[in-house]
């Protein structure tokens, strides 16, 4: 090699080391010259002087403990990497001496390689991750040395997960009366299922509500303090603050969304009347072994007859302040139901033989259920509301039924009757009946709901009347 060339080479190497940069072997040829592709370019700067790629961050971080068994394992590089060089050979995960099977994917834009194990990791184990010098950047430069880090997995091999929600994710036409639920894979610590860990938002606005946990079914419930808005998108979240009975948290927040129906009806506010299953303005009379589950009341009248033989599993309020308040609240509820107009569907005459979806139904005259049964179909939404308005009477003929389908509940059905209601012998009716005048249940008729006569009498005969389940 000539003295001049040797001097140039020594100067370049000295400069590279002084600048803290890696020097790549020139691989001098037999004549003592550097290869053409390693020589100085037209500007006289040597292309062989370059910075090797490095690992700038990892997930999990080195020596992390309590890592969830399905956590991602990733490394971010200082420069864009050659995807062909990022493989399970150059990105290795081991538990002790055993290789963990999996797949590696490089996100070129983020300069991040992620290893996805073929199965969940073991509990309470130390894992070591190594990225070897076989990993190269897009210019072909390798890591200067193997890069390794380790982490320890959580002790619980079975972290809780949300296995189902109501409404389901992306549901549409959801009732504004909806009570949200989330069911977990295992028993949860009630102290961690709160309004802070189970939240609901409409856009950026939090929805106020209460949260409870049914330990028997591992189901958390969010009950909004009032009806939701019509035709709006809501997002529910359960945070990692929710923990199982062993103290293990959700691996990540669980979020889902739904859209309320534009024509969805809010429930009628019954206030204190909700505790009564029979209420009248003038008198309550009974013949035979009527069975009532819930309170019975009358006001401003005071007469209650026929108990016994009738029985009341609840209290009888005959002209007392509780009955007076219930009648006042009944008037408010009756008027609430009567003035509804949102998406009203006009109906008339016989509803028997029909199947109706949740909503508001309006008749300018009377309604009846005869020559067939009426089916109310909640379409899978157990909180959906049905409201029936009629200017005159409501009647059912002998043996006719109101049938509840696909989650429909008697507690969410309201009948606003302009005059009086009569239920035929052995008929089976559902919902809260608010009659402006009187209500008559003929022999053997049953009601899952409430018989509320605002001004007139309630007449019973060997009936079964039960307060509807919420």
**Angstrom distances, CA of residue 104 to CA of 29, 61, 131, 138:** 39, 18, 11, 17
Looking at the fold, whether 276 and 318 belong to one and the same domain comes out as yes
Looking at the fold, whether 225 and 370 belong to one and the same domain comes out as no
Looking at the fold, whether 380 and 436 belong to one and the same domain comes out as yes
pLDDT in tens, 275-315: 999 999 999 999 999 999 999 999 999 999 999 999 999 99
Structural domain total, the chain: 4
Looking at the fold, whether 92 and 204 belong to one and the same domain comes out as no
Looking at the fold, whether 372 and 446 belong to one and the same domain comes out as yes
Pick the last residue of a domain from 153, 187, 217. Answer: 153
Q: What are phi and psi of 236, to 5 degrees?
A: -105, 145
Looking at the fold, whether 320 and 420 belong to one and the same domain comes out as yes
Phi-psi label, residue 275: left if phi above 0, alpha if psi -120 to 50, beta otherwise: alpha
Domain with 195 in it: what CATH number? Answer: 2.60.40.1220
Looking at the fold, whether 317 and 448 belong to one and the same domain comes out as yes
Cα separation of 449 and 469, whole Å? 9
pLDDT in tens, 181-220: 999 999 999 999 999 999 999 999 999 999 999 999 999 9
Looking at the fold, whether 137 and 170 belong to one and the same domain comes out as no
Looking at the fold, whether 121 and 32 belong to one and the same domain comes out as no
Looking at the fold, whether 357 and 460 belong to one and the same domain comes out as yes
Give, in degrees to the nearest 5, the angle at Cα 145 between 141 and 148: 125
Is the residue at 76 inside a domain?
yes
Phi-psi label, residue 372: left if phi above 0, alpha if psi -120 to 50, beta otherwise: left
Mean pLDDT of 145-170: 90
Pick the last residue of a domain from 132, 153, 174. Answer: 153
Is the residue at 417 inside a domain?
yes
Is the residue at 266 inside a domain?
no
pLDDT in tens, 46-82: 444 689 999 999 999 999 998 877 778 999 999 999 9
Looking at the fold, whether 313 and 454 belong to one and the same domain comes out as yes
Looking at the fold, whether 196 and 324 belong to one and the same domain comes out as no
Domain of residue 247: give its range: 162-260
Question: Which among 52, 30, 48 is positioned nearest to 39, based on CA atoms?
Answer: 48
Q: Does the global pTM surpass 0.85?
A: no
Pick the last residue of a domain from 240, 260, 280. Answer: 260
């Amino acid at each position: 090699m000539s003295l001049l060339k040797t001097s140039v080479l020594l100067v370049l190497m000295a400069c590279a080391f002084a600048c803290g940069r890696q020097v790549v072997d020139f691989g001098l040829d037999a004549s003592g010259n550097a290869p053409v592709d390693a020589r100085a370019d037209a500007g006289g700067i040597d292309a062989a002087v370059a910075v090797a790629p490095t690992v700038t961050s990892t997930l999990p971080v080195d020596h992390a403990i309590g890592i969830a068994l399905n956590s991602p394992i990733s490394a971010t590089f200082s420069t864009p990497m050659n995807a062909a060089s990022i493989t399970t050979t150059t990105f290795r995960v081991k538990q002790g001496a055993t290789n963990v099977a999996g797949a590696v994917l490089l996100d070129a834009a983020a300069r991040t390689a992620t290893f996805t194990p073929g199965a969940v990791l073991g509990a309470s184990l130390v894992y070591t991750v190594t990225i070897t010098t076989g990993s190269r950047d897009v210019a072909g430069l390798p890591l200067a040395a193997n890069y390794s880090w380790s982490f320890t997995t959580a002790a619980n091999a079975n972290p809780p997960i949300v296995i189902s929600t109501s409404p389901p994710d992306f549901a549409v036409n959801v009732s504004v009366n909806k009570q949200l639920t989330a069911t977990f894979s295992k028993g949860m610590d009630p102290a961690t299922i709160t309004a802070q860990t189970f939240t609901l938002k409409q856009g950026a606005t939090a929805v106020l509500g209460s949260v409870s946990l049914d330990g028997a079914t591992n189901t958390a419930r969010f009950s909004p303090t009032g009806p939701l808005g019509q035709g709006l998108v809501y997002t529910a979240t359960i945070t990692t603050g929710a923990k199982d009975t062993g103290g293990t948290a959700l691996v990540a927040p669980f979020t889902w969304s739904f859209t309320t129906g534009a024509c969805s009806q809010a429930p009628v506010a019954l206030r204190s009347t909700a505790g009564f299953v029979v209420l009248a303005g003038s008198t309550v009379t009974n013949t035979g072994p009527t069975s009532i589950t819930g309170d019975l009341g009358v006001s401003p009248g005071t007469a209650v007859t026929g108990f016994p033989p009738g029985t009341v599993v609840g209290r009888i309020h005959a002209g007392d302040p509780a009955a007076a308040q219930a009648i006042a609240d009944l008037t408010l509820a009756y008027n609430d139901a009567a003035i509804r107009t949102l998406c009203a569907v006009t109906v008339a005459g016989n509803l028997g033989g029909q199947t109706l979806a949740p909503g508001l139904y309006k008749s300018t005259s009377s309604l009846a259920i005869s020559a067939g049964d009426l089916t109310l179909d909640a379409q899978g939404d157990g909180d959906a509301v049905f409201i029936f308005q009629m200017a005159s009477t409501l009647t059912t003929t002998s043996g006719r039924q109101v049938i509840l389908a696909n989650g429909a509940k008697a507690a969410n059905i309201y009948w606003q009757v302009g005059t009086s209601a009569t239920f035929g012998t052995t008929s089976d009716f559902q919902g809260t009946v608010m009659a402006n005048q009187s209500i008559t249940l003929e022999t053997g008729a049953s009601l899952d709901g409430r018989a509320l006569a605002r001004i007139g009498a309630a007449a019973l005969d060997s009936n079964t009347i039960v307060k509807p389940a919420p």
